[in-house]
Amino acid sequence: MCGIVGYVGQKQALEIVVAGLRRLEYRGYDSAGVAVVSGEELVVRKKAGKLVNLETLLGSDPMPDSTTGIGHTRWATHGGPTDSNAHPHVSEDGTVAVIHNGIIENFAELRAELNAAGVSLSSETDTEVVAHLLALELPAADRDLPEAMRRVCRRLEGAFTLVALDREQPDLVVGARRNSPLVVGVGQGENFLASDVAAFVDHTREALELGQDQVVILTPTSVTVTDFDGEPAAVRPFTVDWDASAAEKGGFDLFMLKEIAEQPRAVADSLRGRITRDSRIQLDETNLDEAALRAITKVVVIACGTAAHAGMVAKYAIEHWTRVPVEVELASEFRYRDPIVGPDSLVIAISQSGETMDTLMALRYAKAQGAHTLAICNTVGSTIPRESDGVLYTYAGPEIAVASTKAFLTQIIAAYLVGLYLAQVRGTMFEDEIRGVLAELDDMPSKVDLVLDTTEPVRALARELAGATSVLFLGRHVGFPVALEGALKLKELAYMHAEGFPAGELKHGPIALIEEGVPVIVIVPSPRGRAVLHDKIVSNIQEVRARGALVVAIAEEGDESITPYAEHIIRIPAVPTLMQPLVATVPLQAFACEMATAKGHDVDQPRNLAKSVTVE
Ligand code: AGP
């Protein structure tokens, strides 16, 4: 999830591009860079770290005047957040500069092809291969950059937004997109490209939405769009109805709302590139030795908060698929209980920030005991993946809101991929069984989308219950960690008592909490999964309802069995048992977000909390 800006017109490009990057910095802040065309020269400045580092560099090492420029804020995927990995990337002959958002899945083979052709690459990124390929195509395309872009795009696999400059063609910016956002800002005597309209909304509100597999050619006075074969392509014009202040959040009032809405794409991006054409799992960045994986006798998940809940969900799946015992340990407790870990253990550290000190210290302890360690992390180059034997990155994009949402769903996805990989390596699942689960996972972005379209009743209910002093959450099986996650969201956002229980535990004490009107939110398992679980939770609903609880059931479409016992039913799509957390969690996120909003709280930065807890 990077920020991309392009400009061509009459004004100073650098000023406009940097201001645009400032608007997009929420999309990534591992590094930033700009390129301009000046006097048939490409001039590039780029720097690791936040945008302010680039601005400092520009102050000490100014760029020449130019009316054509591009800029990029990076959220690292391939290669850590370093100066050399920062965009823009420039071709070996210095003629082409390119910036990129997305993941080029076949970059390894393209990289090998360039090496074989004698091209030396200077970064670890997938993007750099595009700069070299464009320069190699330019002569054959009669130095027509749009044609060179089309030729290169036809060879790329994966998700990409690309924007390029040619030093010999000033007043020209060329972009392309597949599975990654790019919009055009149409001005008077100037035109813009950006990852989202936030970057240019101060200059123009007239925009064009580009379609899949399209190339866009900007000059100061023209915008031309073709498909990858050069045929004219239709685009949809629209007028931006946001005010500039909302722009950083992509038009949403809150980062949390934006990140809840990004979950389908985050799940899709976290699956992308990890499944071969013959549906085998490929987790090459995990550096996990297959023989070692066949020898492990247990898996230990170490994490905190929401990440721990993701681990709890994954436990059910990994044990079901691999028959390897999985322990889920709160990182802050792990190393003080003399845990039994060693060379026969795979320790998985789950962390969105990759800097949580409790998790990092637990990881170091596990490594000292000789365990194999794998990080599941959303921040490339952070400490926890750096200190792990291997890493499986989630590609959720930067998560700004303190309350974790899209990271949670993508942590489940990543942990499921590890479980399937273990099953594949240990032979505990047949290939067709693995393919079946992969198909279910592939279907999840659209299922999550369906839930997002129906959150209004949940928000209305949250406003209705804003006066409650306590809310209980019940779940069974994979629904139990979802109940814990729903309660955590409500605690950290609405500052109210909320507690998640395994529904079967209710009668062993917590049911004493039930009195008239106490809201109880119940995650109802699918009746098609383990019917016994469904029937038991219907009994639990009756138990609490008989004592006056106000029951809110999160239940799949078509499950009418709970209708007589629930005051409110929030419907979710029918999905396989192990997939339910990916859809059942979303209404709980929306519920907590709306309740906090109704209470007038700072949803994105709740009191007493920090996005990354770097102290023990
Ligand atoms: C969840 O909404 C909280 N922000 C918190 O529990 C968080 O999940 C926990 O601190 C772990 O953070 P990490 O994933 O960055 O390690």
To the nearest 10°, the Cα dihedral for 549, 550, 555, 558? 110
Three-class DSSP category at 183: strand
Using the atom order of ligand 1, give the atom closest to the CA of residue 356.
16
How far is Cα 366 from Cα 353, in angstroms, rounded to an integer?
19
Q: What is the pLDDT of residue 531?
A: 77
How far is Cα 176 from Cα 324, in angstroms, rounded to an integer?
45
Three-class DSSP category at 150: helix
Using the atom order of ligand 1, give the atom closest to the CA of residue 303.
16
Measured at the alpha carbon of residue 525, what is the angle toward residues 523 and 527, in degrees to the nearest 5? 145
Q: Is 304 a catalytic residue?
A: no
For the chain, the straight-line distance linking the first and the last C-alpha, in angstroms and rounded, comes to 30
Q: Whose CA is nearest to atom 9 of ligand 1?
A: 305
456-598: which CATH topology? Rossmann fold (3.40.50)
Mean pLDDT per 10-residue section of the chain, whose length is 616 residues: 92 97 82 94 95 95 97 86 93 96 90 94 93 96 97 94 96 93 94 91 91 95 98 89 65 92 94 82 78 96 98 98 98 95 97 91 96 92 85 88 96 97 95 93 97 94 95 97 98 96 94 96 91 91 94 96 93 96 98 97 85 69
How far is Cα 595 from Cα 589, in angstroms, rounded to an integer?
10
**For 35-46, b where at least 16 C-beta lie within 10 A, e where not — what string?**
bbbbeeebbbbb
How far is Cα 326 from Cα 336, in angstroms, rounded to an integer?
19
Element of type H or E holding 17: helix 13-24
Instruction: Give the CA radius of gyration of the chain.
Output: 25
Q: What is the pLDDT of residue 489?
A: 98
Q: Ligand 1 centre from 475 Cα, in Å?
A: 21
Q: Which of 298, 367, 536, 611 is catalytic?
A: 611
Using the atom order of ligand 1, give the atom closest to the CA of residue 613.
10
Measure Cα distances from 547 to 196, 468, 473, 507 in Å: 51, 17, 16, 12
Measured from the CB, is residue 359 less than 6 Å from ligand 1?
yes
Peptide bond into 581 cis (omega under 30): no
249-442: which CATH topology? Rossmann fold (3.40.50)
Domains 3-244 and 456-598 agree in fold: no
Query: Among 70, 80, 71, 15, which residue's Cα sits nearest to residue 48?
Result: 80
Q: How far is CA 167 from the centre of its chain?
A: 34
Measured from the CB, is residue 542 less than 6 Å from ligand 1?
no
Which among 260, 306, 382 is the best mutation to test ligand 1's pocket, defined by most ligand atoms within 8 Å of the CB?
A: 306
- DSSP-derived letter for residue 275 is B
Place of tokens 């609903």: 541
CB 547 within 8 A of CB 511: yes
Query: Among 256, 258, 260, which residue's Cα sits nearest to residue 451?
Result: 260
Domain limits, the chain: 3-244, 249-442, 456-598
How far is Cα 559 from Cα 242, in angstroms, rounded to an integer?
40
Using the atom order of ligand 1, give the atom closest to the CA of residue 411.
14
CATH number for the segment(s) 3-244: 3.60.20.10
Q: Which of 2, 304, 377, 593 is catalytic?
A: 2
Q: How far is CA 411 from the centre of its chain?
A: 9
Q: Is 2 a catalytic residue?
A: yes
Measured from the CB, is residue 305 less than 6 Å from ligand 1?
yes
For the record, the structure tokens of 423 come out as 């099953």
How far is Cα 285 from Cα 268, in angstroms, rounded to an integer?
18
Q: Ligand 1 centre from 11 Cα, in Å?
A: 44
Three-class DSSP category at 523: strand
Q: What is the pLDDT of residue 400?
A: 85
